[in-house]
Amino acid sequence: MASTILTDTSASVSELKKNPMATVSAGDGYPVAILNRNQPAFYCVPAELYERMLDVMDDQELIKLVTERREQALHDIDLDSYL
């Protein structure tokens, strides 16, 4: 069965086991598809890229929240009353 590999670089599980850091470096900052029997098993993503991906996902969640709450009425609150 054919599978789509969503990156330019791939490596086998054996290559990953042999030298994990070289496998990550082979992607030049981009994900590396790890293949098991010539099928993508998972993607090895460098830490810096993973952190950026999480930031983007957090931003998308915040955008969704702001969009949902945009039309809500505003309420004046005296913060000093909570001290």
Question: pLDDT digit string (tens) for 43-55?
Answer: 999 999 999 999 9
The C-alpha atoms of residue 52 and residue 41 are separated, in whole angstroms, by 22
CATH class of 9-69: alpha beta
Question: pLDDT digit string (tens) for 11-61?
Answer: 999 999 999 999 999 999 999 999 999 999 999 999 999 999 999 999 999
The pLDDT value given to residue 41: 97
Statement: residue 1 has pLDDT above 80: no
Q: ∠57-59-64 over CA atoms, to 5°?
A: 95
Sequence spans of domains, the chain:
9-69
Regarding pTM above 0.95, the answer is no
